[in-house]
Structure 1
Amino acid sequence: MRRLLLIGALALAAIVAGTAQYIQILRDKEIDGAKRELATLNLSLAEQTARALQSVDLVLTSVIDQMKAEGAVTPEDVVRLRADQDTHELLKAKASVVPQLDAVTLIGADGHLVNFSRFYPPPAINVAERDFFLALKDRDTDEPFLSQPVKNRGSGAWTVYLARRISAPDGRFLGLALGAIDLDYFQRLYRGLRVGDATSSISLWRRDGILLTRHPALPSVGKPVGQRLFLDVLSKAESGVFLAPDGLDAGTRVVATRAVQAYPVVVNVTRTLDDVLAGWRAQVATIVVAGLVGSLAVLLALWALARQFRAYEATAQAMAEARQAVEGREQAEQALRQAQKMEAIGQLTGGVAHDFNNLLQAIGINLHVIESRCQDERVIGPVRMALQAVERGATLTQHLLAFSRRQQLRPVIVDVNALTARVAELLERTLGGSVRVERRAAPGLWSAMIDPNQLEMALLNLAINARDAMPGGGTLTIAATNRRIDNSSAFNRPDSDRESLPVGVSPGEYVSVAVRDTGTGMTPEVAARAFEPFFTTKEVGRGTGLGLSMVQGLATQSGGGAAIDSQPGGGTTVTLYLPRAAAAMTAVAGGAVAGASAAPLRALAGAAANACSILLVDDEDLVRGATADFLTQAGFAVQEAADAETALGLLDQGPPVDVIVTDHMMPGMNGLDMVRAIRARNNPIPILMVTGYAEELMAEVVDVADGLSLLAKPVMPQSLVRSIRSMAAMNSAA
């Protein structure tokens, strides 16, 4: 019970501490976001302020440059050249195009007004005691001077003066060009912006800390008000964002400050900390409620545990039963996954069997033709041995189908180093002189738990793919090394070779075997589909698209995985991850298969007396051509069609046909669809379907079973001839 109470206290403390830390993180994030927003707005306002001042400054410099061009070198020249009505009109026109410019004034060296954009002649005013006159009179400078703000006695509006010194070529003081800037312009500009709530502000200051204008307005224009902490910030940088603990009003503020380039003014944008944290406070309320609920949940859980403490044995029994239920469910799920995997593999091997059976069909029929035409026992003997090999190939196809349904690998402890050496030696003799084979094996290479025969076939398959990817020759490398994979594995190879981690590989120890070529490589799109069954980039007849999928299936079913890494022009690397063999594991023995020899068929060649007309339909040119030659030799009249559509056309327009011999798997309309199309025309012609899918089609041909027979590929010639004659005889009798 004491332990239970201690756990409860620690849990509550963790909830409180975690909640407090999360609240603080949210607060800092909210303030940082506000600082970024204010800094961005402040930058924009500083640029607008600089452009406004620059527009006034350009008016002043244009007037000064014009006087210099006219040769003004003495104070008298300034009066002589610029005291006329035309100059007044010029100044008036320049002031009218700049909205923030209230007036333009030319001032002589003695402080009297030479010309004025508002009135002509100008009023008799002397400004020799003004700050801008005193600042520029005795200092030869090209920098503008910004005066303190002055309040208009009539309108009450605030004005600030931007002054430029008019100097003779020798530096003598000739007077001033003065622009009166209406600070209400900036007040209107700031009023149109929405920074935050009503307590937010935008202000414009002189660089010495004198307030020029502010929105919302304050009665402190022209004074150095407040703490002016921004002056300390700007003494170190041109801009900054900081917290002012005591602003001009409304308490603590977030302040973004920036000095305007080329002019002695500063733009500040502020928001009150209360406004910035308004949304955060709403979040805090929600988090606190959630924390209280969590704490209450912990307390309730502890209370429930305390009540159940004395019933521990019953709880333990219930947990054991639940664990057994979970294990049972996992076993059921594993069985379901296994069934789904077997179904997928069965679909793959069906395509392999179809292509393999077609090849065996063509080879077997041609061998029988050779046997029937040749009398030389030196030829007949090897032919019969080849026929036995065809039968063994047919048996192997059936074993492959059975294997795919059950996927019974025979894993044993395999010395991967020795196996790859044997495969590399075989490849050196078979790949040709244009492909150089290299082998690399890491010192202390582990043994792997794998089916050695299937691993050899996988490596040979990868080597053939690599050879095809290097039509001009290249280097094929087989590299084996030890690999440890954890939850965060990201392999770093000791050399420059590329390697990708396969998806779905569990953490553990593996022997990786990489087959690498220097060939044409693959695009990312092709590499992404490379392991898909029946996907191939080779031309028709050169590949089934099953090689890489079978390689991946071997590695995955063995408890490892496979990965591919390829770049166009950079070669391809396929890496197998094989599970490391435990020292206590023992080898599992495997079996072998054998086939029977075929019988000669010399008697078939003289069967012309029973000849009939046959329509042979098969999309495989090799199988169709060999079968047609054999049937012709056996005395039949044979018409050929490469697809079902062509066959239907020959039935409609060609010579009469006694028997149709057709394949099932064909592009477009398959064999069974063709049979249904013929029966739909009320044509009772006998049809013999020769296919590798005879067993699967048994349930599908019920509706067209009359006059239809099925033979499984590869079919022996005597069986084919016997079936054709039997169907032709039944057709004649009918």
Structure 2
Amino acid sequence: MPIPPIRHWQAHLRASRPLRVLLLIGGLSVAVLLAATVQYIDSMRDREMEGAERELSTLNLSLAEQTASATQSVDLVLTTIIEQLKSDGIDTPEEYVRRMGGRDTYQMLRARITGLPQLDAVTMIAADGHLINFSRYYPIPPVNVSDRDYFAYLRDHDTTAPFISEPVQNRGNGSWTVYLARRISGRDGSFVGLVLGAIELSYFQRIYKALQPDGDGSISLWRRDGILLARHPVLPDIGRPLGQRQFLKVLERAKSGVYFSSGGLNDGARLVATRALADYPLVVNVTRRLDAVLDKWRIQAWTIGAASAVGIAALLLSLWALARQFSAYEAATRAMDAARRAVEGREQAEQALRQSQKMEAIGQLTGGVAHDFNNLLQAIGINLHVIDSRTEDERIAGPARLALQAVERGATLTQHLLAFSRRQQLRPVPVDVATLVERSSRLLGRTLGQSVRVETEVAPGLWPAMIDPTQLEMAVLNLALNARDAMPGGGTLWILAGNRTVASPEAGEPAAGDPAIAGRLPGAGPLPVQVEGLAGGDYVVLRVRDTGTGMAAEVAARAFEPFFTTKEVGRGTGLGLSMVHGLATQSGGGVELDSRPGLGTTVTLYLPRAEQAADVAAVPPAPPPARTKVTDTAAIGAGCAILLVDDEELVRSATAGYLAQAGFAVREAADAAAALSLLDHGFRPDVIVTDHMMPGMTGLEMARTLRARQDETPILMVTGYAEDLTSTAAVREVSLTVLSKPIEPSRLVRSIRDMASVEG
């Protein structure tokens, strides 16, 4: 099975928390096993070293005792001779020479050394250094030893302690000898002479050879000043002070000890046990090579290390297999999640498409209704104006004016329909939303009553929004009134504003912005990373939330539909939320609704950010123009020819009659083709007044045709069509002026007069 590349595992580690935990546990297990192995091997080494130290110390103690015993035996011979001299009354150098030079003394010395293999000879030496007697042969040769170290030291020091000389090599057989000497003093402390015993160092070498620790050990005898006296294995350094005298530092603190020697005597690092003899200036050292001491441990360490390595390898293989299983399981889980999300996404997309198609169908329907309704309102309104302007009888004029008010309300209703269908005429400008929120809160405080508390919060550094300020104020008012109706017992209304950067659906990036507008409200969750149907970019978020009764999910799903309402008959048209929806979407933003029974309702508007700074001054709604009697306008249109084009006969006839009474010379055409025919036959109007949606050629297409003929006659389009044509490039291209039906007749007259440059 191929091993996945490292990048594959790195990606899995970043994406999978369980896999990271598994590898962490596995890594810790490996580390613990490795640490335990190292600690155990180290403890084994310590135990091995402790055992070797105990063995060397025990052997060293035994050897020191044997060495001391052998030396003490020689010393006993010397002290016995000195005691005999004292008992014989020998107190001067002369008596010592005279009385101890005979054969009987020689025989006595021979007897004294019998049974002591380490003692080679005993010598009596006069105060001037010449030999008095000698156990080896008689008579003695004329030899003087006054230049020897032992003679010079004992002559100059009145001491009862023995002196051990430097080793001396026999020139005949090459063996080494060391002399143990004692001073003979008179009763007055004067130097009488000395007696010494010659100790064969080969005796100690034989003992050390028999007791040598293993094959790598060594035993050595030293004088306290660091001169090597004896050693096994034998070295050619007997009698010389050596550089490796670390034991002297150890013996400064204690009579014995164990230490490590970094190397010396040509055989590398050693473990050394040293012990000083109590009564003699001698030191016995026992050593072992450090690598030999640790041979057994090293084999065990390699065995344990290999077993641990096998265990770690098995653990790593198990972890690898488990990680692969985890990875496969998570891959399957991710695939299942992706499939589930794909299904959910497809279902949501299908639901959104169905909802969009439904809303679009309703929008098309409402737009068409608004178009026909505007034409009816235009015909009714003109005729009512005519009635109102021609009579002075209040019994007739009063009902006419009431009917005109109904026409105005009908016009408002069509505006709401157009708002939902996103075809109303908007005038977006950079708006300071913070100022609008402040102004709205003051207005709502008076409008909603004392039972509803209005709270506002605006994030610092709020961006300007590109929106129609009048329509936005109307939207806030609609939302506030809906909130009031949802809180019959009173409550709190929050209006909050903040900045928000929304990620595009393709980017999948997290949203950035000010979370204050959501995070501080009870029950309000954070804003979504992405908003359905909303393009990525910067938005000013305006959120209105109440503490009312809320809505069930099935009710909230229909809340933006026109004419849908849960209020009782007469309490609303069902167009408030649909108008808010149309305003937000037509402005390039979006709207979200979150409502739950008992938890209130939250409506969030996403308003596109304006690139320019906002004009702080509010944009006041245009004041309604004053009505003008037809008799007041009789002279306005004098001398001005009008070509009136409209496919609705009621609208065309009513408009033509009103314009004729205003003094205009009106020619009518039922469609664009008829209008073009009149123009082709020589009719030259001062202004062309046309509808937009007509059979065959539209008003805009007729205007393009005229401009293509180089006909620059002013064209006024009066339309009930739902689309906002005022800002389209086609309208600007043909230099049209657009007015929306229903329009007050006096305003129509003034617009025609202004376009024809006729003095009123």
TM bracket (short chain): 0.3 to 0.5
TM-score, scaled to structure 2: 0.40
TM-score, scaled to structure 1: 0.42
Is the radius of gyration larger for structure 1 or structure 2? 2
